[in-house]
Amino acid sequence: MDIQAIKNRFGIIGNSPALNYALQVAVQVANTDLTVLINGESGVGKEVFSQIIHALSARKHNPFIAVNCGAIPEGTIDSELFGHEKGSFTGAVDNRKGYFETVNGGTIFLDEIGEMPLGTQARLLRVLETGEYIRVGSSKVQKTDVRVIAATNRDLLERTQQGKFREDLYYRLNTVPIRVPALRDRKEDIPLLFRKFSVDFSEKYKTPSIQLDDDARNMLVNYPWRGNVRELKNIAEQISVLSSDKMVTGNDLKRFLPEHPEVNRLPMLAAPQQQSGGDFASERDILYKLFFDMKKDVTELKKMFFDILQNPSLGQNHDFHPADSHVLHHSFPATTDITPQAPVISNAQPIIIQDGKIDHHEEVEETLSIADKEKELIVKALKKHKGKRKDAALDLGISERTLYRKLKEYNIAE
């Protein structure tokens, strides 16, 4: 089938080579029963590719269902996918069919497959290899004929090395990989997409269609678009509704674009360790980076204090003087703002000063207990957001389900 016809049918706009290649692979694999793994950042339209594959396959008249693995609680995902028997757990008041039973003969799209628990991954691997599954609380083996299309915005191969994703499942899912390009990698498509969205919203809200001058167009093309097509659509809607002048200039556009889209609440990792979708490789990496930055800050503060002690004239604008105190502690109050600029040091050591001179100083290696600090950060995040798990998880840069697991692991009362 012609690629342009596919774009017209599914409302896909753009002519970048990377997008065309991804569509070509989707069309070629559609008529097979091969498992497909769609990779791409959040907001690039991975679900549209799963719909294309299903619509062009021999299963197109059979059911299609999209399941967000990251949105289903860990304790119920097995029941959702494979069903359960009456009385198998609290609340199981009746038998229930799972998605692999109700979609028999069709296609199931597993979005955010990287968030699937390890136990469920083992069940999924058996379905992919043998077509067999067992309901929760049952011992009867059942058969199903379902094509699986998975999607992720995370590096699954890296997660396998961290023990968070089964390596055998990764290679089973990655039979045919499709990489959906980020919007910043197809800059030539940005003006086309913006024009399409602005026309749609002008019709929806009965307003004149907006236009961009050269400065605004260049700013739009060079913006990083971390939220990809979804973010571009939201910006187009805001401008269509809120802009009084339908000729939008660069200064006008600045009011709608976030000033610092690259800023995160937690420290960024080096580029090779960072996920393509902006997520961190692991929670432990976040904590390591945070603690190392804290230690660097403390070392710099020590050096500043020593310089002032050796040269009192440097301390005229400071609140302390060597003659005013015999003991100087380099301890700092705890803070609920989890940033590298607010270090939290628990094992402060005194620097002894006599007659304005350093009598003794010993470099102390701070203890970096990952588990303790991780628990401390979680408690502070929950306190900061008044016990709201969703907001706390967002602040910490982890999923809500991961936060729930950590609460149980560290026995943290909410």
Condensed to tens digits (0 to 9), the pLDDT of residues 279-312 reads 444 555 566 566 666 766 777 777 776 666 666 6
Q: How far is CA 385 from CA 199, 334, 339, 380, 394, in A?
A: 39, 17, 16, 9, 10
CATH 1.10.10-classified regions of the chain: 369-409
Distance CA 194, CA 245 (A): 17
Considering Cα of 152, then 158, then 160, then 165, what sign does the dihedral take? negative
Q: How far is CA 368 from CA 248, 250, 254, in A?
A: 52, 47, 42
For residue 291, which of 320, 267, 257, 323 has the smallest C-alpha distance? 267
- b/e code 364-387 from CB counts within 10 Å (16+ = b): eeeeeeeeebbbbbbbbbbebbee
Residue 200: in which H helix or E strand, if any? Answer: helix 190-205
Helix, strand, coil percentages, rounded to 5, for the chain: 45, 10, 40
The class (CATH top level) of 184-254 is mainly alpha
pLDDT higher than 70, residue 245: yes
Report residue 249 as tokens.
């200039």
For residue 326, which of 358, 351, 354, 305 has the smallest C-alpha distance? 354
CB–CB of 269/280 below 8 Å? yes
CATH 1.10.8.60-classified regions of the chain: 184-254
CB–CB of 193/237 below 8 Å? no
pLDDT higher than 80, residue 250: yes
Q: Band the pLDDT of 313: cuts 50, 70, 90.
A: low
| 56 contact partners, CB below 8 Å, separation of at least 6 | 1, 26, 27, 30, 31
pLDDT higher than 90, residue 362: no
pLDDT higher than 80, residue 35: yes
CATH 3.40.50.300-classified regions of the chain: 3-181
Q: How many CB atoms lie within 10 A of CB 71?
A: 13
| 379 contact partners, CB below 8 Å, separation of at least 6 | 412
Q: Which of 49-58, 388-397, 400-409 has maximum average pLDDT?
A: 49-58
Q: Is 13 left (phi over 0), alpha (psi -120 to 50) or beta?
A: beta
CATH topology (fold) of 369-409: Arc Repressor Mutant, subunit A (1.10.10)
Distance CA 182, CA 103 (A): 31
Residues 32-53 have a mean pLDDT of 95
Helix (H, G, I), strand (E, B) or coil at 147: strand
CB–CB of 38/150 below 8 Å? yes
Distance CA 234, CA 164 (A): 33
Superfamily designation of domain 3-181: P-loop containing nucleotide triphosphate hydrolases (3.40.50.300)
For residue 100, which of 132, 140, 69, 138 has the smallest C-alpha distance? 132
Q: What is the per-residue pLDDT for 410?
A: 81
Locate tokens 């955010």: which residue?
112
Report residue 336 as tokens.
């609920």
State the pTM of this model.
0.62
- List, in sequence order, every residue forming a beta bridge with 327; answer none if it has no partner: 352
Distance CA 206, CA 241 (A): 10
What is the C-alpha radius of gyration for the chain, rounded to an integer number of angstroms? 27
Distance CA 262, CA 268 (A): 9
CB burial of residue 354 (10 Å; 0-12, 13-18, 19+):
exposed
Per the model's pLDDT, the better-predicted residue between 372 and 97 turns out to be 97
